[in-house]
Structure 1
Amino acid sequence: MKILLIKAARLKSSASRRHDGVMPPLGFLYLSAALKKAGYTDITLLHLALEGMGREGLERELERLKPDVVGISAMTSEAVSMHMAAACAKNGRNPLVVAGGAHPTAYVSDCLEDPNIDAVVRNEGEITFPELLAAYGRKAGFEGIKGVSYRSGGRRTDNPPREFIEDLDTLPLPDWDLAEMGRYKDFVPHSPMLYGRRYMSVFTSRGCPYRCTYCHSIFGKRFRAHSPERVLRELRILKEKYGVSNVEISDDVFNLDRARAAAVMNGVISGGLNLNIFFGNGLRAELLDEELIELFSRAGVKYVCAAIETASLRLREKIKKNADLEKLRAAVKLLVRRRIFVNGFVMMGFPDETVKEMLVTARYLWSLPIHSFLLFFCRGYAGAEMCGTLPPARRIDPKTDNTCFVPGGGCSSQPAWKLLAVKQLTTAVFYFLNPARIFRIFRDLPFRDARLFWFLFRTMSVKFFSPARR
């Protein structure tokens, strides 16, 4: 059975293709390993954004490969590309087309209303997808396969959900051979300091117990983790077999289990792995203490993100972001003292957020000694609790969604020009009116090269000058 795994690409914005968040598709690497364990070995990965591939190129690849099964993974901002890929797959051919990932899990109807998509794998796919392929190979139906939604006889059927994988160590190692690691260095990952460098993303845990109303739950609300021994085994193989010294940890909340986090860092130190470790997300900053931050520094952590979201107490309670901002401030100071580059995450444009509340967040951001920040505009995605409270006009339309960085088209009742004005003010004061911050940025950069300097300059400029849209 020939299997083609397609990673969809998002709609183009004004940004360069290099800045489209093109990263190794870790979900597919886990899935490929599970498929090979089940006996399916003829697997090809096609990452559309990496290849810069549109409809014509995809048609040529499909004609060349002639797959029996096509699996497509997509975020909501990649939904248009997902539908295009499904149409190409069915053009003159009749493979089984299965959609999976964040978008199909949250928007099952959007997928199965497309006659070119036969089934959806919801949530984790390492057990579900091989079971589905086994049934397909036997020419049996999909009844009884947990975690699958499908169309049969013109009707949609949603099978019961599959339990989340309890023991992550039972999963085989990701199929790193499937990804051309060296090619991803030319794109900006979650940790932008890795731009231009060979790296690999890893999951050391899945799931997040916090109840933030704007967030997805594709991995569930229960924290499940690889053992420190399994994590260290992965890191050693990446270093010794694949020459990967730069690792991006992509967990939801790596340090929820403090003892496990410390054990991983101690293992990196005692094992002499000599890694550069980046947290493009995946940390709960206010749970960091001085001892753990010291371990981070000794283990080679170069970059972390602190999720502030909003400094408004009213909004923090409303969105269930129960962060202690004073503990977060203390952790940030300790990180900066260790010269670990700290990026802040900020959200604006909540459904009833006032401009005054946005400025409360901006003032808190300005007061922190962090190096950089990313400002996201809140958007109403299906599957998030917040989406259910929004009128249809302020929910995300998968046919047009492409970014959460551009003001307008999201949850906010504020006009786009006001959101843009607050964004520009926040950026100007944060960077251009703070020479000490600029000094810290260049002092604490993990790497010093012209390409990274240019990227930072461009990023600050784009943050200030990006246009508003409605």
Structure 2
Amino acid sequence: MAPMVRRILLVDVDLPASDGNEMSVYYTHHPIGLLYLASSVKARFPETEFRVFHTATSTKPLDDIKDILNTFEPELVGLRALSIAKQFFNETAVFIKSLRPLVPVIGGGPYPSVSYAELLSGGFIDMAVIGEGEATFIEIVSKISDRGTCPNDIDGTAVLKNGLVKVNTARKPIEDVDKIPFPDYSLIHISDYSGIENHALQKSSECAFILSSRGCPYACFYCHQLFGRKIRRRSAANVVAEMRAHVDLRGIHNFVFLDDVFNLPADAAKSLLRLIAVELPGVKLNFPNGLRTDRLDDELIDLFSAAGTVEMALAIETATPRLQRLIGKNLDLVKAEKAIEEATRRFITRLFFIVGFPGETFDEALNTIRMAARFPYAAQPMLSVLRIYQNSPFYQQLRPDEAQARAIAEQEKKQLHLEMFDEVNFYGDFFPADKVPLKSPDLKELLYLWMRDVFINPERIKKSHSVLLKHLDGEQILEFYRSVFNKPAFSSKELEKLLR
């Protein structure tokens, strides 16, 4: 018998492109999590129809959602977002509920997984899926079909019951991730991403996204732990089969891996890279998200190269061991520096650094900048000011009062990366120096030093350009610099000036 839930709308809520906000384009990728949900439900309920909408592909997303609601008439709506898009997530949820008050709205992904209490209490959603969603969403669809109403007893969810937030038993992660169907790419049009780049600085209309493992054993304070602490890897054959389907069906040869920590366990990562090198010659790999820097050995770096790796991102965050321990990352900085030195010479490498941690001194932040300056082959070193999110470990550590909490909420709306002449809008200005020693004037000075010694350092630009030449053609190099400098009109003449 066909399920009562026949039509489901899934919306990936990104920052609206109409705002002109760099983050709406800079960090946008295909809604792979929603595509996984759809394929998993369709494997159980083949008659169920899905529509997947990504707000980043639209200049008028609410108008488009209204059209979908009117023409598709979904009986269930799922919304997903990162915390950076919380304001627009809330606005979207209110908008949908105003038009379809009887249709259950389910929230999932990083933002609802940590802020479920505020979303449920505020009436934005009817249920929050916490953490990994496939098995939970299948049960939600099944029970709504059986009961005709939104259930309140499903593992892995939170609901509002009698005016109180009820958190149900945590759902165990899916152990055999090979059994999860491939994400259903037939539900999106990759051409909709024309003109949109992703956080690997690749054209989202010319690549596919791969999740070869789930989970991360580390506990970095600023990361979402969506998939838990245990690493669950797909078999190498399973991953290659998905990649081959993209090559055969869509002519895609450019892949972006989204694992939280791709290179753990190292042996499994090496096996996958070996198989890709043999089975899929000519593909290009990008790793903009999760590589554990101090676990990159020479053999692994060689295998990245053999498999066709073009780009990787390495997150160091801070050069201070004390702060490494504070943030839960605990990098072995000696091993990390050795790996970065080799990787930056071979791949287009982005290095992530953060300043503005609670308790961080000016000298400690300065040491982080000095560390970044030691890698002249890094194609894109990036410095961010720490952002404090509600319900995060740093938020709990700071224990903000009402005024400080409002200031933190305002900071969430600002861009992640520093610009030279922009207002810093730093949360530390609202806390005493014993909690946050750095203040906005300190950050402005640090930004100047960063720009001078790292970002626009002539030696770095020349040496990193030599790495770009190994992987990109002339037009692709110009596109890279247009993205890095956020300057769409960046020309070959300007590049020549930089390289003199």
Tell me the TM-score normalized by structure 1. 0.91
- What's the offset of the Cα at 1:461? 6.3
Among candidates 123, 147, 159, match of residue 156 of structure 2: 147
Q: Percent identity?
A: 28
Name the CA distance, whole Å, in 1 between partners of 2:391 and 2:237.
34
**Secondary structure of the corresponding residue to residue 106 of structure 2:** strand
The 3 A distance-change label for structure 1 pair 196 and 60 is: closer
Aligned partner of 2:203 in structure 1 is 195
Q: Distance in 1 between matches of 2:10 and 2:43?
A: 16
Structure 2 residue aligned with 1:167: 176
**Number of corresponding residues:** 460
Q: In 2, are the aligned partners of 1:20 and 1:188 still within 8 Å (CA)?
A: yes
- CA distance in 1 between partners of 2:479 and 2:281 (Å): 30
Question: 1:399 deviation in Å?
Answer: 9.6
Return the structure number with greater relative CO, CA threshold 8 A, min gap 6.
1
In 1, the alpha carbon distance for the partners of 2:64 and 2:174 equals 36
1:460 matched residue in structure 2? 485
**Is 1:5 the counterpart of 2:28 in the alignment?**
no
Instruction: Give the drift of 1:53.
Output: 2.4
Structure 1 match to 2:440 = 416
Q: 1:366 to 1:304 in 2, by over 3 A?
A: same
Residue 468 of structure 2 corresponds to residue 444 of structure 1: yes
Q: C-alpha displacement at 1:185, in angstroms?
A: 4.5
Q: Is the 8 A contact 2:451 2:457 kept in 1?
A: no
1:432 pairs with 2:456 = yes
Task: Report if the CA contact (8 A) 2:152-2:161 is conserved.
Answer: no
- 1:46 to 2:53 alignment: yes
* Counterpart residue number, 1:62: 69
Displacement of 1:56: 3.4
Q: CA deviation at 1:358?
A: 0.9
Among 296, 299, 305, the alignment partner of 1:297 is: 305
Residue 222 to residue 387, structure 1, CA distance change in 2 (3 Å): farther
Match of 1:232 in 2: 240
- 1:404 is aligned, of 409, 416, 419, to 416
Is 1:344 the counterpart of 2:351? The answer is yes
One-letter amino acid of the structure 1 residue matched with residue 155 of structure 2: K
Letter in 1 for 2:277: I
1:103 lines up with 2:120 in the alignment: no
1:201 CA drift (Å): 1.1
TM-score norm. by structure 2 comes to 0.86
Distance 1:115 1:384, change over 3 A: closer
Relative to structure 1, is the Cα distance of residues 98 and 459 closer, same or farther in structure 2, using a 3 angstrom cutoff? same
Structure 2 counterparts to residues 306-317 of structure 1, below 5 A: 306-317=314-325
The worse-fitting range, judged by mean Cα deviation, of 233-242 and 121-130 is 233-242
How far off its partner does 1:184 sit?
A: 2.4
2: distance between equivalents of 1:448 and 1:196? Answer: 18
Are the aligned partners of 1:311 and 1:364 in contact in 2 as well (CA < 8 Å)? yes
Over 3 Å counting, the alpha-carbon distance change for 1:112 and 1:368 in structure 2 is same
Q: CA RMSD in A?
A: 2.4
Distance 1:461 1:425 in 2: 20
Q: C-alpha separation between the residues in 2 aligned to 1:402 and 1:443?
A: 32
The match for 1:465 is none
Shift of residue 447, structure 1, vs aligned partner? 2.0
Bigger shift: residues 87-96 or 227-236:
87-96
On the 8 A contact 2:213/2:232 being kept in 1, the answer is yes
Partners in 1 of 2:362 and 2:425 — Cα distance? Answer: 14
Runs of at least 5 residues in structure 2 that lack an aligned partner in the other structure:
1-5, 419-423, 429-435, 488-500
Between 372-381 and 451-460, report the one with greater CA deviation.
451-460
1: CA distance, partners of 2:457 / 2:417 = 22
Query: Relative to structure 1, is the Cα distance of residues 155 and 461 closer, same or farther in structure 2, using a 3 angstrom cutoff?
Result: closer
Instruction: Give the aligned partner of residue 176 of structure 1.
Output: 185
Q: Is the 8 A contact 1:11 1:77 kept in 2?
A: no
Q: How many angstroms apart in 2 are the aligned matches of 1:329 and 1:350?
A: 21
Counterpart among 27, 32, 37 of residue 38 in structure 2: 32
